[in-house]
Amino acid sequence: MYRTLLPIACCLLPLVAFADAQIQMVAKDGTVDGTYQVRGGKVRIESTDSGNNTLLYDAASHGITVLDHAKKHYMHIDAETVANLGAAASGAMAEMQKQLANLPPEQREAMEKLMPAMPTAPSLPDIKADRTGRSDVVNGMSCEIVEVAVDGKAAGEACVASKGTGLSDSDEQTLRSMFADLSKLASSVLGGNSGTDREFAVLGGLPLRWRDNTGRVTETRVDTKVPIDATGFQIPAGYTEEKLEVPSLN
């Protein structure tokens, strides 16, 4: 959902953040690629590639809520939800295999051919960051130039500031917690040890500028004075819950 923000998001994990801050990634033409709002241990994320969806995170519950504004639905995801989903899927598969084992060999082979092929679980992207030793100044703040690769291919270049951006310890911890929880949930769904926390931590700061491998440039704007409405972190009135369901094996 937030694929184009991934290299930028990975810079935010070990980051410093801000008290009641709004962080925006803005292109040279003024297009806002993504917006993070942080307030009171909660984060609201919107991006151009997420369609008409918003992601809400609550550090207290370690829960993530996805708002689908087009359908006026919301879906809540946390560690317990993912664990229950995985257990249900495993149980359904085990039951199907048990039933197949009781069939005569010819009938079992015929049924197996009719069963839909189970997709191979995708893996999380392998993110690498290489410090170049070069530095620059963006909007009056010094930053270090870091080259980012995803799955062995150049993704872009970030200019990362590790200090001097007006930081809040509480919001730093909120963002750390959010990306750690996102990583854990993704690992639970996709399987294996993603190592994303380790890769994220390599960057170690706020990306003041991001240049992707097509040459498109975005810069980070931080506003610690903008009023952030607490209701923006709540589920809107009239929205109904949509539950995560076990995919059908039929």
Q: Exposed, middle or buried, 226 (CB in 10 Å: 0-12/13-18/19+)? A: exposed
C-alpha to C-alpha distance for 173 and 13, rounded to whole angstroms: 9
What type of residue sits at position 179? Answer: F
Query: Which ranges constitute the DSSP H helices of 102-238?
Result: 105-114, 169-190, 196-203
Mean pLDDT by runs of 10 across the 250 residues of the chain is 49 49 88 91 88 92 92 87 63 70 76 59 67 90 88 88 71 78 65 41 73 91 85 96 67
pLDDT at 187: 60
Q: Are 249 and 119 in contact (CB under 8 A)?
A: no
CA distances from 15 to 43, 120, 143, 182, 205 (A): 14, 34, 13, 15, 5
pLDDT at 9: 52
The secondary structure of residue 52, as a DSSP letter, is S
pLDDT at 15: 42
pLDDT at 82: 66
Indicate the CATH number for domain 3-80+120-241.
Answer: 2.50.20
Q: Are 200 and 34 in contact (CB under 8 A)?
A: no
Strand partners, 241: 74
C-alpha to C-alpha distance for 59 and 38, rounded to whole angstroms: 11
pLDDT at 220: 86
pTM, two decimal places: 0.69
Q: Which of 218, 222, 223 is nearest to 29 (CA)?
A: 218
